[in-house]
Structure 1
Amino acid sequence: MADKKSKILIVEDDLDVAEMLNAYLGVQGYQVLAANFGENGVRLCIEERPDLVILDIRLPDIDGYEVARRLRSDRRTKNIPIIFLTEKRDRADRLQGLELGADDYITKPFDIQELRLRVRNSLERLGQNFMINSVSGYPEGALVDERLEECLQKKDQALLLISLENLETFRERYGFVASDDVLRAVSLMIHTAIQEVGSAEGFLGHLSATDFIIVIPPDKITALAGRIANRLEESLGYFYPMRDREEAVNWPDRLAIKTAQIDPDAAVFQSLDELKKELLYLKK
């Protein structure tokens, strides 16, 4: 059951799905609001300020992307978590939703228990002000920004980005439990590698759900980057079930690692956003 009376807005034009979600989440202890049209969903969100929006992409008037765009552009609703609910499975559709700031994405037909856990996780992250990743347990959001700001000012630490690619595709094939296991295992391997190179002061956090950022002394970064890349590249194949393991090696959307490095002392950045953009640009 929900620990508090969190308010959830469901924007869904399929009345059977909307009714089912309303009843199920109500039993879980949430206060549920519902809208069958995108325009009504935007209005309700502004008026009621829910803690979370479950948003279908296919709506009778404006689509879910436009609803998300309006919510993200309004200061009153821009920080409300959004879970996209849709029948679309195309990668471009997922990317469009994520680019608009969606916090999660689940396709129909969905497992109601999976949706419940996604709702719970989104609300937990909201309650923590997005400072701790609920899967890995490592910092994200404001805590990471503070540490990166220190790097910009002091310029005595190097930055290493470790990006876990194609986790969304893996999750669609094998489910959210398996994908969460991958994320937890990868974060543990990165943490272990930091300890092994003898950097007790090394900082590990999330730049995004699948982008890890490490702050470490410059003299440790080369050894750490090599150790992490080798270990993860050797291990990622084992996350696939035995039936797919041999074939997955040749899949273009298989799990993979990309990295990027920055020595703040050798680069000039005018802002934190500029630093983040450069890290994501450099990853290869």
Structure 2
Amino acid sequence: YNVEVAPRGSDALTLCRRQLPDLIVLDIMLPDMDGYAVCRELRTTTRTKHIPIIFLTQKDERSDRIAGLELGADDYITKPFDIEELKLRVRQAINTYKRTNMTDPITGLPRGKLIEEELLQLMRTGEDWTLGLVGIDHMRPFVDTYGFVAGDEVRRFTAMLMNRVIDDKGTMNDFVGNASDDSFVVITLAKDVHALVETLRQRFKEEIRTHYNFMDAEQGGVRLSDGTLAPLMSLSVGTVSSDSQSFSDIREITELAAELRILDQQEQAKKLESSS
């Protein structure tokens, strides 16, 4: 496993929002806040509420165990512990969660049913929201040239970038999901959605160059076998807001977002053509 250590509860919350882990092992006794508060925050924050949590702590009273499980922890292990048992329970927790097919194995982001549940919940609350369908354009030529492993790295990078931008420009209760191999979903309560989208688009444009070799980055894309140049990857975004019209079901929302994303894709292509 790749393990990230957060010495304080506040550090753990920041780390989990920026790079969604497959599992969180959490102590109750932390220097700045107790583990119960960390668990509560993780379970009530949209982007982290689905992540499995195991408490690993010296607090071995029955009431402590019940309190942790009531907050939504998936397991509770007391110290001293057997390291082999801990490894087994960690592996079981991760495998159980992945078998439910709730998250993408590459990006760690929620997908499918979790995206639908989040949107349905927002539709019921009556809050003003915006859904953005974010697509990676020109990814196929990149994967054909650099391979599937490089493509997975791009997906992983995009997921992390989206979480960072949401932290900067969105709200604590915004949601990021993985709709397909090359498309993502953002559901945000932020007022200035335009600033969020343009920040995401610009930062992707600046940072995606590092995934290409020097020659491709300098010439602005991948040279195909027929001699044409497939542009560097970019983002196209279709946004749909609850205040623009009423929707009867999720299908209407996602279909409109897909249509608007295609229009944005065409607009970005025109800009690229006029600048070249």
The interval holding the TM-score normalised by the smaller chain is 0.5 to 0.7
Secondary structure of 2:178's aligned partner = strand
The answer to whether residue 134 in structure 2 is matched with residue 162 in structure 1 is yes
Alignment of 1:1-284 (within 5 A): 128-156=99-127, 157-197=129-169, 199-249=171-221, 251-283=229-261, 284=264
Taking structure 2 as the reference length, the TM-score comes to 0.53
Q: How far apart, CA to CA, are the structure 2 residues paired with 1:274 and 1:242?
A: 43
Secondary structure of 1:262's aligned partner = strand
Q: How far apart, CA to CA, are the structure 1 residues paired with 2:253 and 2:214?
A: 40
Secondary structure of 2:248's aligned partner = coil
Q: How far apart, CA to CA, are the structure 2 residues paired with 1:125 and 1:280?
A: 32
Q: Deviations over 1:106-128 (max 9, x none)?
A: xxxxxxxxxxxxxxxxxx89953
Equivalent AA in structure 1 for residue 154 of structure 2: V
Equivalent AA in structure 1 for residue 241 of structure 2: D
Q: Is the 8 A contact 2:102 2:114 kept in 1?
A: yes
Secondary structure of 1:205's aligned partner = strand
Unaligned runs of 5+ in 2: 1-94, 223-228, 265-276
Equivalent AA in structure 2 for residue 261 of structure 1: T
Unaligned runs of 5+ in 1: 1-123
Q: How far apart, CA to CA, are the structure 2 residues paired with 1:170 and 1:188?
A: 19
Secondary structure of 1:204's aligned partner = strand
Q: Is the 8 A contact 1:159 1:213 kept in 2?
A: yes
Q: Is the 8 A contact 2:130 2:240 kept in 1?
A: yes
Q: How far apart, CA to CA, are the structure 1 residues paired with 2:164 and 2:252?
A: 29
More relative contact order, 1 or 2 (CA 8 Å, 6+ apart): 2
Identity of matched residues, % = 22
Q: How far apart, CA to CA, are the structure 2 residues paired with 1:196 and 1:148?
A: 22
Q: CA deviation at 1:265?
A: 2.7
Q: CA deviation at 1:239?
A: 1.3
Report how many residues are paired: 161
Q: Over the residues paired in the alignment, what is the CA RMSD in angstroms?
A: 2.3
Q: Is the 8 A contact 1:159 1:215 kept in 2?
A: yes
Over 3 Å counting, the alpha-carbon distance change for 1:235 and 1:142 in structure 2 is same
Equivalent AA in structure 2 for residue 181 of structure 1: E
Q: How far apart, CA to CA, are the structure 2 residues paired with 1:130 and 1:267?
A: 32
Secondary structure of 2:243's aligned partner = helix
Taking structure 1 as the reference length, the TM-score comes to 0.52
Q: How far apart, CA to CA, are the structure 2 residues paired with 1:244 and 1:174?
A: 11
Q: Which contiguous aligned blocks of 4+ residues in structure 1 show a shift greater than 6 angstroms?
A: none
